[in-house]
Amino acid sequence: MSSPLLSREEYVEQAYFFRTYRERIDENVPAQEVLSSVAAELLATTKLPLAIEFLSGEMQLHGRIGAGMAKLTHYFSPFQAFVMQRAETEESRFDVRNALQLLEREAEHRSQSSEPQALFIYQFECLARHQLGYDEGLRVAAQDGAYNADWRAWIEGLRRQLGIRDFGDLIYARSQHLVDELRRQRHDDSIEAPEPVLFGAQEGRIAKAHRGKDPLHMFAALQRHLGYPSVPRPPRKPARPVFEPHVEVRFQRLEGRLALVESEVKDGIDLTQFYQQTNDPAARKKRPSGDRSS
């Protein structure tokens, strides 16, 4: 069963919710407090405040909201719940902040356009860039109310064809550009597409030009030429050290002191490691003043 489409104002409020949730988590505001406060800021004529009230209860019980979103199938899409659940999995390297940013961008796009082509490319790029898993990701994407029966059948088929056929070729084969080329080659305008057309002529032209190439390049071309929504990139590793240099020096000193304490507890402290080395033979032969051996 596919999830229902919502009104524009619902998606506008969703985008605000995901953005505010992410920003306040970055400010170290507890998630439960964020959910309680942001619900009062949302448009009361939408269903989102009620949904957040339910998610707040899920947060209190389980410490996460992804499972709660999956239960609200009449409001959140399966793909939205899937992205959040992936981020909340303990062993996942996909951060909750990244998930909220992906959902924010998707909600912004839904508030501006209902075209399934751009939505699907966005969702597929999310799976590709953030390594969320194609099989499960495409399964939940196919349940979105934005896709009709032809789209759902094609997305389900992708789960079996990925890795066997080139992704650009799969898009080109279901585009108006292929039909236009067949008509031009055979000089017959009555030729119909062998399968339902899902992508326009421009999408097909770009897909054909990127056959055999990295799909990420095709996504970037679709964004440049057709205004498709861009997917937020995974965060880069910080170039600067985790600690400031002076803090790092203090840690090294503490480590040295702890090593001395451990040595004293075990076998006593070996003072020879602190003796000053010298090249003077006479100094090396000279005994310490405290040595009274005869």
Task: Specify the pLDDT at position 233.
Answer: 87
pLDDT in tens, 124-137: 999 999 999 999 99
pLDDT band per the 50, 70, 90 thresholds, residue 294: very low
Q: Which of 119, 114, 169 is nearest to 141 (CA)?
A: 119
Task: Specify the pLDDT at position 200.
Answer: 96
Compute the average pLDDT of residues 88-102: 90
Question: What pTM does this model have?
Answer: 0.78
Q: What is the mean pLDDT of the chain?
A: 88
Q: Does residue 274 register a pLDDT over 80? A: no
pLDDT band per the 50, 70, 90 thresholds, residue 273: low
pLDDT in tens, 172-222: 999 999 999 999 999 988 889 889 999 999 999 999 999 989 999 999 999
Residue type, 196: P
Q: How many CB atoms lie within 10 A of CB 186?
A: 10
Coil, helix or strand at residue 268: coil
Contacts of 113 (CB under 8 A, 6+ apart): 119
Q: Does residue 107 register a pLDDT over 70? A: yes
Task: Specify the pLDDT at position 82.
Answer: 97
Q: Which of 100, 94, 111 is nearest to 8 (CA)?
A: 111
Task: Specify the pLDDT at position 268.
Answer: 63
